[in-house]
């Protein structure tokens, strides 16, 4: 289990994200929302301009840039103490975002969409998150199959981390995400959550992103994403106990409260 943790607040400036698409129609609204998340305890703000929900269609680079750049600039100006992450698979978008004030590249393709991303991150000296995804957002939930989901996800992440290091990215800059909900059925997500220690054992900080996701609704009966906050907090506390250290969420205050309690309690028995 990681002794420290950070919460990454979600700022989606997209019209079609599964939980909050279209709720931040302007850059001003997105910056104001991000500042609220920071006040609630977010140490990182993850800005995304292209939805990666199941079935989402790709967005042109210029459109994605138009959505995120002014938001990143606004957050950087208003809250320079907070790390800004750009959630993108495109090198051009990541480069512009880093120039605008971001210092973290969250690539859900783990540098497979555009392999040049590894070189950009290495040259920038910024942090990066490499995530496992089966296929693409357009196809990932069609019929996901694994013989050993934990072993296959760990093997992929280990290989991508090695590639990142070979490209010149410092080891301490690499974070790994098992990709809960990205090409996984309910049982796959539960297996990964239960065995998250295997991902942590790879030796890199683990990012977990299960906020409000469909599998939580399958378990609880909560049909709307905003009804899955309690399940999100519970799952993140379990992930923390199993070694996750960065928690990507929509509901920052509730998650911070849950992790504070879990951290204080586990510290009592030396963990």
**Catalytic residue (choose from 67, 160, 213, 214):** 213
| Torsion (CA) 42, 211, 2, 184 in degrees, nearest 10 | -150
**Catalytic residue (choose from 53, 214, 228, 248):** 248
H-helix segments, the chain = 27-39, 61-78, 91-100, 117-124, 149-166, 186-194, 196-200, 214-220, 229-241, 252-267
213 annotated active-site: yes
The DSSP string of 200-245 is: HTTSS-EEE--TT-HHHHHHH---SGGG-HHHHHHHHHHHHHTTEE
224 annotated active-site: no
Burial 47-86 (b: 16+ CB within 10 A, else e): bbbbbbbbebebbebeebbebbbbbbbbbbeebeebbbbb
Give residue 254's Cα distance to chain centre: 17
Catalytic residues: 213, 248
């Amino acid at each position: 289990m990681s002794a420290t943790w950070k919460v990454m607040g979600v700022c989606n400036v997209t019209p079609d994200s599964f939980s909050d698409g279209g709720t931040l129609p302007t850059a001003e609204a997105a910056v104001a929302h991000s500042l609220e998340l920071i006040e609630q305890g977010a140490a990182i703000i993850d800005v995304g301009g292209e939805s990666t929900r199941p079935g989402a269609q790709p967005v042109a680079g210029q459109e994605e840039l138009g959505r995120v750049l002014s938001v990143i600039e606004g957050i950087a100006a208003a809250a320079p103490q907070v790390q800004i992450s750009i959630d993108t698979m495109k090198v051009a978008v990541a480069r512009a975002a880093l120039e605008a004030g971001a210092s973290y590249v969250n690539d859900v393709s783990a540098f497979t969409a555009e392999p040049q991303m590894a070189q950009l991150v290495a040259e920038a000296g910024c942090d990066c998150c490499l995530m496992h995804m089966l296929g693409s957002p357009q196809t990932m939930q069609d019929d996901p199959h694994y013989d050993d989901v934990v072993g296959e996800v760990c093997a992929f992440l280990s290989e991508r981390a090695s590639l990142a290091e070979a490209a010149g990215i410092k080891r301490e800059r690499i974070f790994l995400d098992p990709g809960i909900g990205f090409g996984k059925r309910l049982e796959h997500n539960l297996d990964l959550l239960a065995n998250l220690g295997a991902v942590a054992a790879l030796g890199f900080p683990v990012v977990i992103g299960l906020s409000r996701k469909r599998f939580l609704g399958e378990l609880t009966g909560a049909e709307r994403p905003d009804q899955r906050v309690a399940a999100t907090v519970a799952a993140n506390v379990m992930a923390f106990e199993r070694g996750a250290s960065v928690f990507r969420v929509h509901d920052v205050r509730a998650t911070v409260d849950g992790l504070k309690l879990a951290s204080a309690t586990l510290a009592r028995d030396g963990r």
